[in-house]
């Protein structure tokens, strides 16, 4: 039986914003969610004007406070089912906290907050209220990320010895922030971005990909945060050596000054039986190297159980692909998969059946808090001259 589409409210997204665009496509992707309300800009007048000129009719609000107040007073089924926070990092905590306090589930961009205490507070509220919360680590939404997770966590490449998780870009290799690019301007400002620039912006994605695929946790970090472009207060190059809780080691690195690199996020995991390679710019496949054997390239939709490498494959993994292989899925599909999984949890929450998220479908508030904890410790290590710091 068909259900009413969920109502989503945007916090941020006006004035030429970036990440709202893939999100709002992903919200509509299945026809079961739609954007109905928004507080699009910090300036109330601009927020209202932008809402009036939105691509389709939505209810505009002068601020997210006004939106949360008005929408939470509507009868069940007419107000917001969840909010999406797509503001700069320093405007994540306040709307997230206020929505949770009103019982509204939250889909929040990463990094979760600018301060660790704020992340701790969100974890506490989510735990007390048992309410869905997703942190938008986009790349967990690729089917290939889920396959990679299954391969590593079911032991198919053996015990993890070493992993290299990286996210390399080049768009901040010059003072992009002085050229009127709003996305660059706030990202280099510690008050709005947080205590790490590159590390917080994209190092957190690399760390999340490592934790999601391997299921391992860093126990110690040794960080070097560097700033190559003169005049910047925050790092534009981020390198962290990690010890993992299985005794293995990993390098988590990110850079925004490597000319030629676009969104070069990847993960290589070296186990004692084989190696797995995953790349976000080629997200339809996972490559596996086994000693003495030809390389195996596993494409989405082309994976069979009992093929000489796989035994059984979980049914939900095989059932997940949405279009036949060879019709490429990419960034928007990854976002859509996250919103789809979050929708299921929101609907369960509304029926009183939500049991909490285990992090297998999307990054949870605990994962988001881990990202901030990791960054805090990497900064501490770097400031002490690159010493080992316990997590
Ligand atoms: N998951 C990903 O892959 C990914 C990619 C890019 C950005 N991000 C994250 O998304 C967030 C936004 O990044 P972006 O590049 O889209 O930034 P942006 O500068 O393009 O957009 C920010 C938006 O927030 C609005 N805003 C700011 N303060 C506000 C307030 N008080 N009330 C309402 N609106 C307000 C701005 O008007 C703008 O619309 C950041 O936290 C960033 O780290 C995530």
pLDDT digits (tens, 9 = 90+) for 125-162: 999 999 999 999 999 999 999 999 999 999 999 999 99
* Distance between Cα 280 and ligand 1 center (Å): 21
Q: Which pLDDT does position 278 carry in this prediction?
A: 98
> Ligand 1: which residue has its CA nearest to atom 7?
19
Q: How confident is the model at residue 320 (pLDDT cuts 50, 70, 90)?
A: confident
Which pLDDT belongs to residue 321? 76
* Ligand 1: residue whose CA is nearest its atom 3: 138
Instruction: Report yes or no on 54 lying in a domain.
Output: yes
For residue 323 and ligand 1, the question of a CB distance below 6 A is answered with no
Is 113 part of a structural domain of the chain?
A: yes
In a domain, 154, yes or no: no
Q: Is the CB of 86 under 6 A from ligand 1?
A: yes
Domain-embedded: residue 89: yes
Domain range for 71: 6-138+335-370
Assigned domain for 390 exists: no
pLDDT at 86 over 80: yes
- CATH code of the domain covering residue 79: 3.40.50.720
Asked whether 218 lines ligand 1 (CB < 6 A), one says no
For residues 35 and 8, the answer to whether their CB atoms sit within 8 Å is yes
Q: How far is the CA of 45 from the centre of ligand 1 (A)?
A: 18
Q: Does residue 182 line the site of ligand 1, with CB under 6 A?
A: yes
Our count of domains for the chain comes to 1
Which of 11, 14, 19 gets mutated to test ligand 1 (max ligand atoms within 8 A of its CB)? Answer: 19
Instruction: With respect to residue 128, please indicate whether it lies within any of the assigned structural domains.
Output: yes
Stated pTM of the model: 0.98
Q: Does residue 104 belong to any structural domain of this protein?
A: yes
Q: If you average pLDDT over residues 4-15, what whole number do you get?
A: 97
List pLDDT tens digits, range 99-131.
999 999 999 999 999 999 999 999 999 999 999
Ligand 1 pocket, 336 CB below 6 A? no
Residue 1 pLDDT = 78
* Domain membership flag for residue 130: yes
């Amino acid at each position: 039986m068909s259900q009413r589409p969920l109502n989503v409210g945007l916090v941020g997204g006006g004035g030429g914003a970036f990440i709202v665009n893939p999100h709002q496509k992903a919200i509509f992707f299945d026809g079961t969610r739609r954007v109905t309300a928004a507080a699009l800009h910090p300036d109330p007048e601009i927020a209202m004007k932008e809402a009036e000129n939105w691509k389709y009719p939505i209810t505009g609000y002068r601020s997210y406070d006004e939106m949360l107040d008005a929408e939470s007073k509507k009868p069940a089924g007419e107000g917001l089912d969840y909010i999406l926070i797509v503001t700069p990092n320093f405007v994540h905590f306040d709307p997230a906290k206020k929505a949770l306090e009103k019982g509204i589930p939250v889909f929040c961009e990463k990094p979760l907050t600018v301060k660790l205490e704020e992340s701790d507070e969100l974890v506490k509220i989510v735990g007390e209220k048992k309410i869905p919360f997703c942190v938008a680590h986009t790349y967990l939404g690729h089917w290939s990320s889920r396959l990679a997770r299954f391969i590593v966590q079911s032991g198919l490449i053996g015990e993890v010895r070493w992993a290299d998780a990286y996210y390399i870009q080049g768009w901040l290799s010059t003072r992009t922030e002085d050229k009127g690019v709003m996305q660059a301007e706030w990202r280099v400002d510690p008050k709005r971005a947080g205590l790490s620039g590159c590390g917080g912006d994209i190092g957190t994605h690399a760390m999340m990909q490592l934790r999601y695929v391997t299921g391992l946790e860093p126990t110690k970090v040794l960080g070097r945060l560097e700033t190559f472009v003169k005049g910047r207060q925050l790092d534009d190059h981020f390198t962290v050596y990690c010890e993992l809780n299985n005794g293995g080691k990993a390098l988590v690195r990110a850079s925004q000054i490597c000319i030629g690199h676009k969104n070069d996020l990847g993960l290589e995991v070296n186990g004692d039986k084989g190696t797995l390679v995953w790349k976000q710019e080629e997200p339809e496949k996972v490559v596996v190297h086994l000693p003495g054997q030809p390389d195996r390239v596993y494409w989405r939709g082309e994976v069979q159980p009992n093929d000489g490498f796989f035994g059984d494959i979980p049914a939900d993994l095989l059932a997940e692909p949405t279009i036949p292989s060879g019709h490429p899925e990419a960034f928007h599909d990854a976002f859509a998969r996250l919103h789809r999984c979050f929708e299921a949890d929101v609907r369960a929450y509304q029926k009183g059946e939500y049991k909490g998220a285990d992090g297998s479908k999307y990054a949870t508030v605990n994962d988001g808090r881990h990202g901030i904890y990791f960054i805090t410790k990497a900064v501490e290590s770097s400031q002490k001259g690159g010493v080992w710091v316990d997590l």
